[in-house]
Amino acid sequence: MSQVIASGADLIAQTLKNQGVTVVFGIVGIPVVEVAEACVNAGIRFIGFRNEQSAAYAASVYGYLSGRPGVCLSVGGPGVVHALAGLLNSKINCWPIVLLSGSCETDQTDMGAFQELDQVEACRQYCKYSARPASLEQLPFVIEKAFRTALYGRPGAAYVDLPADYIQYAITNKKVFDAIQVSRVPNAPKSMADQTNLNEAISLLKNAKSPLVVIGKGAAYARAEHEVKELIEKTKAPFLPTPMGKGVISDSHPLCVSAARSKALKEADVVLLIGARLNWILHYGHSPRWNSNVRFIQIDISPEELRNNRQDTVPLLGDIQLIVSQITQALDSKLTNMNPAYVSGLVDKVKQNVEKTKIAGSKGSDSAILNYATAFTVIKRILPENGVVYVSEGANTMDIGRSYFDVNEPRHRLDAGTGATMGVGMGYAIGAQSYYGDAKRVVSIVGDSAFGFSAMELETAVRSGLPLLIIVINNNGIYHGLEDEEYHAALKDGTLPTTSLSVETRYDLISEACGGKGWFVKNRIELAKAVKEALAAKDETCVINVMIAPGGRTKLDFGWMQKTEKARL
């Protein structure tokens, strides 16, 4: 009998190793325990989660941060369905991810096998590529194709089915094992913009009176911080980062007009979009939020994206690094037609608004109940300026927090993103901390509702030795909650609002129960002390449960999401 030299699981692990994978996020179970074990034996870190959804979110964000596909491993059936959340998240944010999931034996298909599901079909609508290898020998080819497809063009998701019989297969032929290996997918090839479109863009920019550069998370993903900075230094044009475009150039740059966003949108006559879509986040490029005469120039890697919602956009198809350099080179000096009053008007507005947030943050006594502004002001004062990776989610916590926490480095702010996905926080924090390692501290500032989606992943963080610092901004509810008395009265009467969560839930104790540290704080003094102690606890997973006034912002205003006022039914 010939000798077994490896299993199918070893082949999968070797293929991932060849792709340069250093960490896999997932949950084991039949039939993928062997795959995870083989990965560990091959020197790949396996971070085992408590729900595939968070594992897939971790892989999703890892793809964004590393610029290579993040990898998620799950069981079949329900495991895949949970992980779909991460595929959607990657698709919608344009980040590379590969999901590998166990599936039933190839000779048991359609027989009602264990956790049987047509996973290739289930994943297909979120994926650029979704496949079940036709044979064991084809596995490395299919995995390479998944990596390449996830990475090339507009980044996105890919899925590979791992049938149980392939995983368990006993490989005896070393020659075949070696021959079917494939090498690492090289980084994506890049292209420059077409000259005609470039000329038109340059002419628009040169004639602009009120130019605005919008920096999206595509610029962050493309690692174009150097090129974008050069462009701003040369043109002296004001710039506006999108929520995750923050940090490509430091928020403290004098031309950053985040704090005068509405005014900038209304006044800009020529807008250069660098890796940002004209979707809901940018109000589709339509008035009344934008000036009705505005012209857009859009740099994007995806041809289908160009001119979406604005047919008069000048399209610059290709890679952000290369195209931004093309623009900088083609412009010989700062934009001479730019109206100085436009820039100084924005800069003044920024100063006024920053002052307003300062005033809001310093209101009340040190022992008073906190609110978003006062809590964020305390936290900001204590956190270091650099070396912090922010994770932010929860409606108000994320929205209000955006204006309090400056981001000075690219890819250092992660939030609910294009999908406005709540529940990404723990997966993102774990994915980010495992990517950045000891060099950075991940600080999640999240709402109580958002945190609840995946609080059990605290155990994952503690077990994996990831020193996350999670600050839960707790107002007893979604958007807002109730005071203790109101809550108990409503509970008794059966009139509890759908936005309510239990009063003063002790999220800090969940951390302690999982082996981490916890603080429960109610005022400035307690909060400041807790943040300092948590920062000092460098190797520990920490949760600070910050009670704020439950009332908060009670009026929900969706008006900003509408296409135009007119188009409403």
Of the candidate spans 125-133, 166-174, 276-284, 377-385, the one that interacts with ligand ADP by CB under 6 A turns out to be 276-284
Rounded to whole angstroms, the Cα distance separating 159 from 69 reads 11
Strands of the 45-48 sheet, one edge to the other = 45-48, 23-26, 70-74, 97-103, 157-163, 127-131
Complex with ligand ADP: residue 272 or 320, whichever CB lies closer: 320
The dihedral sign for the CA sequence 133, 139, 143, 149: negative
- The interface mask with ligand ADP, positions 452-491, x = CB under 6 A, is ----------------------------------------
Give me 71's structure tokens.
């990898």
Cα dihedral 289, 291, 293, 298, rounded to 10, equals -70
Complex with ligand ADP: residue 277 or 480, whichever CB lies closer: 277
Complex with ligand ADP: residue 33 or 420, whichever CB lies closer: 420
Q: What's the helix, strand, coil split of the chain in %, to 5?
A: 45, 15, 40
The answer to whether 257 touches 313, Cβ cutoff 8 Å, is no
How far from each other are the two terminal CA atoms of the chain, in whole angstroms?
A: 75
Complex with ligand ADP: residue 418 or 449, whichever CB lies closer: 418
- Give yes or no for residue 414 binding ligand ADP (CB under 6 A): no
- The interface mask with ligand ADP, positions 149-178, x = CB under 6 A, is -----x------------------------
- Give yes or no for residue 297 binding ligand ADP (CB under 6 A): no
- Judged by beta carbon distances under 5 to 8 A according to partner kind, the member of Mg ion, ligand ADP, none in contact with residue 447 is Mg ion
Rounded to whole angstroms, the Cα distance separating 531 from 455 reads 20
- The interface mask with ligand ADP, positions 213-232, x = CB under 6 A, is ---xxx--xx----------
**Minimum separation from the CB atom of position 391 to ligand ADP (A):** 16
- Give yes or no for residue 300 binding ligand ADP (CB under 6 A): yes
- Judged by beta carbon distances under 5 to 8 A according to partner kind, the member of ligand ADP, Mg ion, none in contact with residue 91 is none
- Give yes or no for residue 319 binding ligand ADP (CB under 6 A): yes
- Give yes or no for residue 412 binding ligand ADP (CB under 6 A): no
The dihedral sign for the CA sequence 455, 461, 462, 468: negative
Cα dihedral 135, 136, 139, 141, rounded to 10, equals -70
Tell me: cis bond preceding 410? Omega within 30 of 0 counts.
Answer: no
Task: Say how many residues touch ligand ADP, by CB under 6 A.
Answer: 24
Strands of the 542-547 sheet, one edge to the other = 413-415, 388-393, 441-447, 469-474, 542-547, 517-521
Of the candidate spans 48-56, 134-142, 269-277, 419-427, the one that interacts with ligand ADP by CB under 6 A turns out to be 269-277
Among 23, 84, 276, 346, binds ligand ADP (CB under 6 A): 276
